[in-house]
Amino acid sequence: MIAGGEALASSIPLADELALAVALWWERLHRFDQLPVLIAVWVILITLGAIIALLVSILVLHLRNEAKEAREERWRGQWMLQLLDPEGEGKNFGIRENQLFPFLEVWSRLQESLRGEFKDRLSDLARNAGVIEYCNKALRKGGIRDRIISATTLGHLGHQGSWGILAEAARSKDPYLSLSAIRALARIDGPRTVEVFLEDFIVRKEWPLPSIYRILLEIGADALTEPLVLRLLNDLEAPPLRALHFLGAIRNEASMVVVQTLLHRRQGWEQEAALLKSVHDPELGEFVRSRLGQDAWQVVVAAVNALGRIGVREDMPLLVPLLAHREWWVRYRAAHTLVRLPGVKPIEIELQASRLDDPFARDMLRHALAARNMG
């Protein structure tokens, strides 16, 4: 069949000759022994097609992003003029729903940099532009990122009408969304937030303790003191450890009462260490000194730190043995507390260091003295 085809090709035009060659090639590919070649050709074609499709998709996405950024940049320029001149450019201010989050980016930046009357004007403009309605809608139906931004905005605006939807978001299992909602609620109504969510502050360990502590400081001691004291003193068992870390956010006299009461109850070492961190009352000095011999080194460190706040010169003999403690952190804190006791002179520290048999203890004490002199 191939020989006949070659004879025919010599008597027909070039185009027909090319068509005949393709037909002969296709016939060869369909033979069983050419199947691997056929598969390889199709794999190559499919791969090339996929690569081309991917490149086209990337190009289209890039062009769309560039167009979106250019459009949002134009919006930002207009909004900046309107936000900074509410009596002029901003008198007919408004945004569309699809402009909400680009607008909030500009608005939040100005919120952080402006104060007083200008900040109030920004809030008024946002309310008049319909931001509250858009944010409430995003909190119900948006993704996590949009809901977090919306919760934060509603908190800045102090919108009481959004309390219910924010409280629902605060119950979310997502730690970032729930924490943003709690922060917003605290800005809207701090006392109510403590009343409703105090137990959540205590038990929700996915909320970082430093973040919750800052929120409680913003709410203020007047709103927090009574409910927290009642929560701690009415618990007949060991108080929640996390709640003890909130004592620094309440009124000092109330904190002293809680510490004095709970320290004389039987506690676990974690609770005891947390309570000792809140000791500022010299009347608790004897109790603090009695904890320097505890087995749990964390309690010893907390007691040493407490002596740094309420200790006296006569505590030197109690601290010196701790320079040889098995735990490095105890030795370190004991040295730094020693050199800062009231009335202790550098020459006394040098003399004490020269009497120590342990070279590491000597170095620790001299290092603490050098740090004190530099400070």
What percentage of the chain exceeds 90 in pLDDT?
35
Classified as helix, coil or strand, 62 is helix
Yes or no: say if 160 and 134 are a contact pair by the CB < 8 Å rule: no
Q: Please state, in angstroms and rounded to a whole number, the distance separating the CA atoms of residues 240 and 238.
A: 7
Between the alpha carbon of residue 187 and those of residues 20, 43, 183, 243, 356, the distances in Å are: 83, 61, 6, 21, 55
Q: Please state, in angstroms and rounded to a whole number, the distance separating the CA atoms of residues 228 and 213.
A: 13
What percentage of the chain exceeds 70 in pLDDT?
80
What confidence tens digit (pLDDT) does each residue in 345-360 have?
Answer: 888 888 877 888 888 8
Q: Please state, in angstroms and rounded to a whole number, the distance separating the CA atoms of residues 334 and 338.
A: 6
Q: Which of 38-52, 81-95, 295-309, 359-373 has maximum average pLDDT? A: 295-309
Per-residue pLDDT band for 8 (boundaries 50, 70, 90) equals very low
Render 151-165 in DSSP notation, one character per residue: HHHHHHHT-GGGHHH
Per-residue pLDDT band for 33 (boundaries 50, 70, 90) equals low
Which residue has better confidence, 125 or 186?
186
- Overall residue count recorded for the chain in this entry: 375
Question: Which pLDDT score, from 0 to 100, does residue 74 have?
Answer: 59
Helix ranges restricted to H, 264-358: 269-276, 285-290, 297-310, 316-319, 328-338, 346-354
Exposure pattern of 185-202 as b/e (b: 16+ CB <10 Å)? Answer: bbbbbbebbbeebbeebb
Q: Please state, in angstroms and rounded to a whole number, the distance separating the CA atoms of residues 346 and 371.
A: 12
Q: Please state, in angstroms and rounded to a whole number, the distance separating the CA atoms of residues 56 and 223.
A: 59
Question: Which pLDDT score, from 0 to 100, does residue 179 have?
Answer: 95
Tokens 């900074």 belong to 84
What confidence tens digit (pLDDT) does each residue in 199-222 have?
Answer: 999 999 999 999 999 999 999 999
Averaged confidence pLDDT in the chain: 82
Lowest mean pLDDT segment, chosen from 104-113, 169-178, 354-363, 364-373: 104-113
Question: Which pLDDT score, from 0 to 100, does residue 2 have?
Answer: 46
Which residue has better confidence, 70 or 238?
238
Number of H helices, E strands in the chain: 21, 0
Helix crossing, 131-141 with 100-113: angle to 10°?
120
- Residue 276: partners with Cβ closer than 8 Å, 6 or more residues away: 263, 288, 291, 299, 302, 303, 305, 306
Whether 13 has a pLDDT exceeding 90, the answer reads no
Of 96, 156, 160, the C-alpha closest to 129 is: 96
Instruction: Give long-range contacts, CB 8 A cutoff, 24+ apart: 62-71.
Output: none
Yes or no: say if 310 and 281 are a contact pair by the CB < 8 Å rule: yes
Neighbours of 354 (CB within 10 A): 10
